[in-house]
Structure 1
Amino acid sequence: MKILHTSDWHVGKVLKGQSRVEEHIAVLAQVVDVARTERPDLVIVAGDLYDTAAPTPEATRLVTRALSALRGTGAQVVAIGGNHDNGAALDALRPWAEAAGITLRGTVRDSAAEHVLTGETAGGEPWRLVALPFLSQRYAVRAAEMYELTAAEATQTYADHIGRLIGVLARDFGSGTVNLVAAHLTVVGATMGGGEREAHSVLGYAVPATVFPGSAHYVALGHLHRAQQVIGPCPIRYCGSPLAIDFGEGENTPSVAVVEVTAETTAKVRDVPITAAVPLRTVRGTLDELSTMDPDQPGWLRVYVREAPRAGLREEVQALLPRALEVRIDPDMLPSSDAAARAAQRSGRSPRELFADYLDSRGHADDGVRDLFDKLYEEVSST
């Protein structure tokens, strides 16, 4: 059996005001090309199809067309909701998806059968897939209660609830069948990619790899944007995002995973790079150093400028490097926290004096900014 594992498309992503629609079109077209070349039996999209719970019509068209194109390669297609997705909205698309031969699972339902999918490859090999969309802490408890959680178990942690759910859903994993799990989770020991929503990635949302059964032949995860294997009782993998979502992911290699496995053999995984997106790069330097860089070099830029803060600096940097979407002062150029603390004496001081102290604490000695503050403060105070 061959599987194409992809996740974290984040269609609709806007990066510092820059639309990435054209990049997503190119990236998803390349993912479809990989599917045409590899001819997988099954495509798993492990969550975060969208970047927001309220996607635009354009984003919805792009996702539905990509899913349809993947189905058009002859593969079975299963997609689950992630923490960025609106699970109920994905479920509302199920009539369309079922007509198109695509399986969507946006939220956890009260029937275990909804989340245990079965199929057979063209060569006659049976497979069974547990499809578990993202669950918030509150809904993890509620979902576990659907499967007869006891009063004592109701006080357990998020990881306990997830482990119990997977245990119930995977209880019919047996020999002679390729047993699979698709989930949108943070697993303890995995490395974040740099652009994830931290509230849904750390602390109570991290689960141990032991929530997955040893009888699983492959666990296809979404949520963390860096492709990586996770040590556990069975093969567990994040395929990563097919494009860098934010500048913190500039060092990642966008990819999809191609998995070959049988009921009797261990999963073999190959990462296939996806190169269609514009790379995200971070550069540092003074204005003189930045002026020597090629302004037409491909890539969206995050610039750490080694200059004292002043009004208009961002515009000067962007005049040199038009593809600079984010401009920051290099942290080494900022005063120490001790200097900032000494400037924080507020008692009996005017707003102008306080603002001047703040500028001084940030190394931003610019009379023009102070004059602008005076003008704005006078306008606000007189209304």
Structure 2
Amino acid sequence: MKILHTADWHVGKVLRGRSRADEHAKVLDELVGIARAEDVDAVIVAGDVFDGAVPTPPAQALVMKTLMALQEGGREVVVLAGNHDDPRLLDDVYRPVLRQLGIRVAGRFRRPDAGGVLSWTSRHGEPVRLAAMPFLSQRYVVRALEALTGTPDQHNRDYAHRFARLADALTAEFGADTVNLVAAHGTLPGGRMGGGEREAQTIFSYYFESSAFPASTHYAALGHLHRRQRMPGPCPIWYSGSPIAVDFGEEQNTPGALVVDVAPGRPADVREVTLRSARVLRTVTGSLPELEAMADDLGDAWLRVVVAEKPRAGLADAVRDVLPNALTVDIDEAFRPTSSRRRAAAGSREAPTPRQLFRTYLEQTGHEDERVVALFDRLYDELDGQED
């Protein structure tokens, strides 16, 4: 059978105040075109369908339209919740409606016999089992494990160990004559970041190990890291990457998806597919005349501009006159006043994140403790998710 693996759509993303709705519509239409051209049997969307927990009506309409187009012709479509998604929205609103259309949605972790393992028969007659593992926060991974075992967990096990126990329960019935798949959203150690991932949910305390997936797994489809890449492990494990560069940290990424051929008794054959519908993100540096000279070569790319001139009133406006797609305009470090250069050298070119501020506070007060930092990260993660 043939699978289209995609993830990290981040529909509803606003880049420096600019809507990317038109780009997302083109990118998702390109994905649908790939599903048709490749005649895939199934589509896995491994989380972060939306950019926030409260997506706008236009964002929801685009996702609904895309999922229905992907499902046309009877394709199996599986959608997981990522760390940017609200699992309640996906489970309580989307799941019951989309299930009637043949689209399977996993917002929360479920027991194997209650929707955690999805089973179907491919159009070629192959039985398929898919272990669905949507994003689990530190708090909910404990609840999921308690729901699985039926008893309170009294041990202080780490996230990776809990994740492995859940994965073991979902993959226990993988057979030699079935196509065995895992779909999950989270971070494997050693994975290369794309640049736009949420920091609080990509730290060590949110890692799980590739050993959580048994060798009987024919393919593990992951989401969360925005760079497309294969991960080492006992089975084929891939991040599909995002189909759109989410922020300027991802300008060197190649947006795309994966087409996977898989059958019982052999490893998956994975092919990368590049998507070209979204606008390119670029960082450009130079004096005002140099920037003006390169304007014709930049096309419609969204720009982060670093000006190699001394700051002066009206400079940013002058840059935008020659480069209308400039979303941010900064002064090159070498041309900043001495005090600004010192701050930049100290890593303060951009406003520090709350996590960085808290670490600095602990260092300055002599209370450095990684356990306290980890607790802060978890609390900040939960509050940040509520605000989305």
TM-score using structure 2 length: 0.84
Per the TM alignment, residue 261 of structure 1 is displaced from its structure 2 partner at its CA by 1.1
Q: How do 1:95-114 residues align onto structure 2 when only pairs under 5 Å count?
A: 95-109=96-110, 112-114=113-115
Deviation at 1:15, TM superposition (A): 0.4
Higher mean C-alpha deviation, range 74-83 or range 108-117: 108-117
Q: Within 5 Å, which residues of 2 pair with 1:1-383? A: 1-91=1-91, 92-109=93-110, 112-148=113-149, 154-295=155-296, 297-334=299-336, 340=342
8 Å CA contact 1:209, 1:233 repeated in 2: yes
Name whichever of 298-307 and 222-231 sits farther off.
Answer: 298-307
Contact 1:47 1:82 (C-alpha < 8 Å) held by counterparts: yes
SS in 1 for 2:110: coil
**One-letter code of the match for 2:301?**
G
Instruction: Kindly provide the CA deviation profile for residues 315-356 of structure 1, in whole angstroms up to 9, marking residues without a partner as x.
Output: 121111001111122233335679758xxxxxxxxxxxxxxx
Indicate the SS of the match to 2:270. strand
Deviation at 1:109, TM superposition (A): 3.5
Q: In the TM superposition, what is the alpha-carbon distance from 1:154 to its structure 2 partner? A: 3.2
Count of residue pairs brought into register by the alignment: 341
3-state SS of paired residue (1:194) = coil
Inter-partner Cα distance in structure 1 for 2:334 and 2:222 = 38
- Contact 2:112/2:169 (8 A) holds in 1: no
Q: Which amino acid aligns with 1:329?
A: I
Distance in structure 2 (CA, Å) of the matches to 1:97 and 1:234:
31
Structure 1 unaligned regions, length at least 5: 342-383
| Residue 147 of structure 1: how far off its partner (Å) | 1.5
Contact 2:284 2:305 in 1 (8 A): yes
2:377 counterpart residue number: none
SS at match of 2:191: coil
With over 3 angstroms needed to count, the CA separation of the structure-2 counterparts of 1:4 and 1:171, relative to structure 1, is same
Paired residue type of 2:64: T
Residue 256 of structure 1 aligns to a residue whose secondary structure is strand
The CA deviation string for residues 252-272 of structure 1, in whole angstroms up to 9 with x for no partner, is 111110000111111110011
What amino acid is the match of 1:132? M
RMSD across aligned positions (CA): 1.7
Decide whether the 8 Å contact of 1:10 with 1:245 is kept in 2: yes
Query: How many Å apart are 1:304 and its aligned residue?
Result: 1.2
- Give the TM-score normalised by structure 1: 0.85
Contact 2:7/2:46, CA 8 A, preserved across alignment: yes
How many angstroms apart in 2 are the aligned matches of 1:103 and 1:147? 21
Whole-Å separation in 2 of the counterparts to 1:339 and 1:305: 15
Structure 2, unmatched stretches of 5+, are: 344-388
2:80 aligned partner, one-letter code: I
The structure-2 alpha-carbon separation of the partners of 1:339 and 1:104, relative to structure 1 and needing over 3 Å to count, comes to: closer
SS in 1 for 2:25: helix
Counterpart Cα distance in 2 of 1:153 and 1:31: 45
Aligned residue number for residue 347 of structure 1: none
Q: Secondary structure at the match of 2:266?
A: coil
Instruction: Give the superposition deviation at 1:309.
Output: 2.6
Encode CA deviations 1:149-201: one digit per residue, 9 max, x unaligned: 77676310111111110011111111000110000011011100011111111
Range moving further from structure 2, 242-251 or 201-210: 201-210
The structure with the largest alpha-carbon Rg is 1
Residue of structure 2 equivalent to 1:370: none
